[in-house]
Structure 1
């Protein structure tokens, strides 16, 4: 959708999915038809950049927040300004209607949250307590509570009627660098400041803290049966853990630089790791013994994965190549050359016949996993490709990029089926749901988006993180999404409703 003359700061979908509203630095708000892409209305009146936009639940009104501290309420059909709300003394970062449409919440750089009467425009409450910019504000479903997130590292829960601060949730000390669900979706593991934590995915309770690494944990993964965990760290070691009761079974030195990526084979017998020492190592998951050290890359190994049958390993490197290895002998089967810059992400298709790779050169390559022949080069992204993944039936590929977009591709023809726009910053992580119907994406804009994989429509925009979202994944039954952020939190979301069930 083209029309804005400045960067787009905020987008929102109407409740029925028929319209999109966008706000821009060009000071305008635009309404778009989802099916045709036609610009139906251009709403002008703000004298500063538009930072945030939202529809009322019935789709009849739009609210927008501006850099100059004002909020406008618009008639979505006529484009007429209904009210201009004044009270904030700095830029309005977030606006939202209550579900019944009677109230509006706003969060501002003036460190306050305000509640407004959506009919009269009167400021009913000014909620004070944050000590830095308020990035996000939202009503509970029944409108009785309000939640706000701030650059002060805190989440506040407020009584929407009285304005009382009911609860302040404080963040963790350090970044979460890796998160993953157990195969049955019951547990989550996270890697952070030298520790691995195991969490109950239902209650959000931290069950175990696994200590043993002497530096940051870069990558974590569950075995398929959920009984074991592997972690890779900047301390150059691999650790294998008993998930219950959290015992360190063995610590395996061997790499000579930080470990960037770890993965289990499907049968849980082997582990593969990729390191900044330019090598790939295969480990016996039971004993921790290094069975093979695969040498051949001339740059940091950024991504590794097993084929489903465990017979092969694929690795992507800063040396611009993708390598396919025999997992038993360690022999290099193929060196895939075609990217002109470092390879950030690699994955096998489920049947093992194809490999997809995403690169800093802005392209995605599809390769024949048996011959190493490059079948397709997918072009369209205008910046680095950070994450790639196959759908479970291998018919589609999803990619996330520095160009702020998510793209869906036909894996056979290479055709770009949809370009999903809505993120306002780099897309760090993408994944298909296991049934292939949805896509989840996490971005530096602090949001998680859920998309319809067939139509490309944004089904949900999940807000709550206060900093970059680095990792996203579906649970095995597709009922939950987990996201990990630089704000030191892991959020668990209901994949159907978008409700943040735990932080």
Structure 2
């Protein structure tokens, strides 16, 4: 190999090594860009921290204001504060995640800087050896070309090449110096970022402490309200006990107040119309019978205000009736198959109907038009219910799922897998946080609608599938659950201890449908259920005795519903017959 080829190969090798510095330069530029991005993120985090601190101060003022005012709306304000605390906790967790990511990036950048420094040192040593090798090679060729007549020309050319290489070496040295300066700047910026992260962590700790104080104030406020509620409940129970002990009844005056009055002789002469501390009496006979003409009936439900009731069945219509006269006021269409359950919202502005077409529809009663169609189940929907604020709906289906729907956004926000087909469901609290479902596998299940997690599964309650579940309005704070089953028994379960406190049954009572619904009276004193032979059974929840049996239907009864006002009881059978019973006080 000639010296020209050797020099050419050496120069080629040199060029390849110089390109390695180009990659290092690009890598350093990327590091600078990353540092700039991190600075922007840190500024955003600081702004978010300021916003969170302002929100926390606002929440603190709101909590103190709610504590000072003590208005009837304090529960709504406390709930809003709880939601905001939850949002702040989520923001704080997100900030922790961001800080962790920043720390990881800092470690990665330090590793890259160390590698770049080692590469520069190694390349510097290799370039020194390379130039020494070129110089020695040049000396060798100069000595070997003493007799060559073109020696001056070659010496001049080699000298120019050496100068050019020296210039390039100086340029590379200057570039290395500039890179060292850039690396030092990056290290200073990283130190500043670490300091800002430390400051942010201190602010987070301060915010966490303030949130804990706010939460403790909220808990203290809730404890005070609970104590007040307990005192009121205790006073009410003592009031009732005194009324029973002295042989008096509790009646409602024209001014809207409850007073104790001595039981009259006419009251004592009616053994089957026992009067409790409530707004209902036992029915004797229907005040109106209705024979409907369109399809089988599957469900019946009284409205929340007691001004109307509704029926649904195989005719795919949800029909609205006047509560007193029984006249049809509206027929709501849109369902593709049978209506299986009905529920009114608390203000009676909306009504929903679940259907065997795998959907739930919500109608606006003022216009008679469909407001929402909730689709997502892949099986028949047998039960659905509004929450107290009318912002959400829960539904249960034979596809072994429960779904929570947000009516403001119009879609499902949570799906709960239940391992068994759901026949009926109910909400155990006003906020709609605890959901109770009855299933085809004879079991009861309690769920947290906020997380979708199971709270409790009650097995062995019934030996047949559960057809309905309903919560008591008066035991003593709505903690008693009534279940109806195909094993021909009804049971009352204490949801505080998960114990069966009462079992209701009768030789003549037979549950005749998988969707047969039972119900409480508005005062919680009675429970009513319809039998397969068309008889209405009513039990006393205090004595556990069967109070009355009314045989005004001929076919299988699919449901009973007591008006929340307590003035009427509605019953329905699958053979298109409806009965209305008057259960109001006759003063």
| TM-score between both structures, scaled by the size of structure 2 | 0.44
Indicate whether 1:319 and 2:406 are aligned.
Answer: no
- Cα separation, partners in 2 of 1:406 and 1:288, compared to 1, 3 Å: same
The residue matched to 1:429 in structure 2 has which SS?
A: coil
Query: Displacement, 1:301?
Result: 0.8
Q: Deviations over 1:73-108 (max 9, x none)?
A: xxxxxxxxxxxxxxxxxxxxxxxxxxxxxxxxxxxx
Query: Displacement, 1:354?
Result: 1.9
Query: Displacement, 1:235?
Result: 3.3
Query: Displacement, 1:297?
Result: 0.7
Does the CA contact (< 8 Å) of 1:250 and 1:287 recur in 2?
Answer: no
**Mapping for residues 82-231 of structure 1, pairs under 5 Å:** 204-205=287-288, 215-227=295-307, 230-231=310-311
Residue 458 of structure 2 corresponds to 378
Instruction: Structure 1: give runs of 5+ residues left out of the alignment.
Output: 1-140, 143-183, 189-200
Indicate whether 1:349 and 2:437 are aligned.
Answer: no
Q: Distance in 2 between matches of 1:219 and 1:240?
A: 12
**Mapping for residues 35-46 of structure 1, pairs under 5 Å:** none
- Cα separation, partners in 2 of 1:423 and 1:486, compared to 1, 3 Å: farther
Instruction: Structure 2: give runs of 5+ residues left out of the alignment.
Output: 1-269, 272-278
Larger Rg: 2
Q: 1:290 aligns with which of 370, 392, 401?
A: 370
The residue matched to 1:272 in structure 2 has which SS?
A: strand
Indicate whether 1:430 and 2:518 are aligned.
Answer: yes
Does the CA contact (< 8 Å) of 1:210 and 1:246 recur in 2?
Answer: no
Q: Which has the higher helix share?
A: 2
Q: Distance in 2 between matches of 1:463 and 1:203?
A: 9
Does the CA contact (< 8 Å) of 1:404 and 1:424 recur in 2?
Answer: no
Query: Displacement, 1:375?
Result: 1.2
Q: Deviations over 1:406-442 (max 9, x none)?
A: 1111112322222333245533332222222332232
Query: Displacement, 1:490?
Result: 4.8
Q: 2:562 aligns with which of 465, 470, 474?
A: 474
Indicate whether 1:277 and 2:364 are aligned.
Answer: no
Residue 412 of structure 2 corresponds to 332
Query: Displacement, 1:319?
Result: 1.0
- Cα separation, partners in 2 of 1:391 and 1:381, compared to 1, 3 Å: same
Q: 1:453 aligns with which of 534, 537, 541?
A: 541
The residue matched to 1:319 in structure 2 has which SS?
A: coil
Query: Displacement, 1:229?
Result: 5.2
Question: What is the root-mean-square deviation in Å for CA atoms of aligned residues?
Answer: 3.9
- Cα separation, partners in 2 of 1:223 and 1:328, compared to 1, 3 Å: farther
Q: Distance in 2 between matches of 1:358 and 1:468?
A: 21
Q: Distance in 1 between matches of 2:581 and 2:329?
A: 32
Query: Displacement, 1:401?
Result: 0.7
The residue matched to 1:299 in structure 2 has which SS?
A: coil
Q: Deviations over 1:336-358 (max 9, x none)?
A: 22242x21111123512322111
Does the CA contact (< 8 Å) of 2:300 and 2:560 recur in 1?
Answer: no
Aligned residues between the structures? 300
Query: Displacement, 1:224?
Result: 3.6
Residue 387 of structure 1 corresponds to 468
Residue 157 of structure 2 corresponds to none
- Cα separation, partners in 2 of 1:415 and 1:339, compared to 1, 3 Å: farther
The residue matched to 1:434 in structure 2 has which SS?
A: coil
Query: Displacement, 1:390?
Result: 0.6
Q: Distance in 2 between matches of 1:314 and 1:420?
A: 28
Does the CA contact (< 8 Å) of 2:306 and 2:563 recur in 1?
Answer: no
Q: Distance in 1 between matches of 2:546 and 2:326?
A: 37
Does the CA contact (< 8 Å) of 1:444 and 1:469 recur in 2?
Answer: yes
**Mapping for residues 348-367 of structure 1, pairs under 5 Å:** 348-351=427-430, 352-367=432-447
The residue matched to 1:204 in structure 2 has which SS?
A: strand
The residue matched to 1:383 in structure 2 has which SS?
A: coil
| TM-score between both structures, scaled by the size of structure 1 | 0.51
The residue matched to 2:287 in structure 1 has which SS?
A: coil
Q: Deviations over 1:296-350 (max 9, x none)?
A: 111111112112221211112111222121122222122222242x211111235
Q: Distance in 2 between matches of 1:450 and 1:258?
A: 28
Q: Distance in 1 between matches of 2:571 and 2:327?
A: 25
Q: Distance in 1 between matches of 2:332 and 2:363?
A: 9
Does the CA contact (< 8 Å) of 1:185 and 1:476 recur in 2?
Answer: no
Residue 67 of structure 1 corresponds to none
Residue 244 of structure 2 corresponds to none
Does the CA contact (< 8 Å) of 1:403 and 1:425 recur in 2?
Answer: no
Query: Displacement, 1:245?
Result: 8.7
Q: Distance in 2 between matches of 1:450 and 1:397?
A: 16
Q: Distance in 2 between matches of 1:242 and 1:493?
A: 14
Does the CA contact (< 8 Å) of 2:296 and 2:576 recur in 1?
Answer: no
Q: 2:448 aligns with which of 352, 368, 392?
A: 368
Residue 169 of structure 1 corresponds to none
Q: Deviations over 1:257-297 (max 9, x none)?
A: 22222322111222212111101122222223322221111
The residue matched to 2:399 in structure 1 has which SS?
A: coil
Q: Distance in 1 between matches of 2:353 and 2:574?
A: 24
Indicate whether 1:265 and 2:352 are aligned.
Answer: no
- Cα separation, partners in 2 of 1:387 and 1:299, compared to 1, 3 Å: same
Q: Distance in 2 between matches of 1:220 and 1:445?
A: 18
- Cα separation, partners in 2 of 1:234 and 1:480, compared to 1, 3 Å: closer
- Cα separation, partners in 2 of 1:417 and 1:461, compared to 1, 3 Å: same
